[in-house]
C-alpha cells in the first residue's frame, strides 16, 4: 500500500462527516503541503518520514475536530492552500 492510500485510510479513520471525494482531496492537499511527490521506489525511511510529517500536519490542523461539516472542510482547505502558496513564494 502506498503513502497516499495509507494516509487516506488514516484520515478516514480520524475524521467523520467527509465524503470519499473530500478525504481524497484533503489527503492530496496535505501531502502537497508537506512536499510529497509520488515515486515508484521509495526507501522505507523516506515513506516513514512523509507519513510522520503528514500526521504531524494533520493533528496540528484538526486537533479540535472529530466530525467535520462541509463549511469546516472548506475553511480548512482554504487555510492549507494559502499556507502552501506562502511557502512556495
- Cα separation, 59 vs 14, in Å, equals 10
pLDDT for 33-51, tens place per residue? 888 877 778 888 888 888 9
Indicate the pTM of the whole model. 0.75
8 Å CB contact between 81 and 30: no
- Mean pLDDT for 85-89 is 55
Which grid coordinates belong to 14?
Answer: 480520524
> Which parts of 1-89 are beta strand (E)?
none
Which grid coordinates belong to 37?
Answer: 511527490
- Cα separation, 16 vs 11, in Å, equals 9
- Cα separation, 57 vs 17, in Å, equals 20
> What is the number of structural domains in the chain?
1
Supply the range of the domain harboring residue 24. 3-88
- Mean pLDDT for 46-67 is 83
pLDDT given for residue 45 in this prediction: 86
pLDDT exceeds cutoff 60 at 86? no
Amino acid at each position: 500500500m502506498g503513502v497516499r492510500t495509507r494516509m487516506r485510510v488514516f484520515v478516514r479513520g480520524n475524521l467523520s462527516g467527509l465524503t470519499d471525494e473530500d478525504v481524497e482531496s484533503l489527503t492530496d492537499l496535505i501531502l502537497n503541503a508537506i512536499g510529497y511527490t509520488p515515486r515508484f521506489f521509495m526507501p522505507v525511511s523516506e515513506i516513514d518520514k512523509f507519513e510522520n510529517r503528514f500526521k504531524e500536519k494533520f493533528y496540528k490542523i484538526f486537533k479540535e475536530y472529530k466530525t467535520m461539516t462541509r463549511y469546516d472542510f472548506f475553511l480548512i482547505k482554504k487555510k492549507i492552500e494559502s499556507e502552501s502558496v506562502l511557502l512556495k513564494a
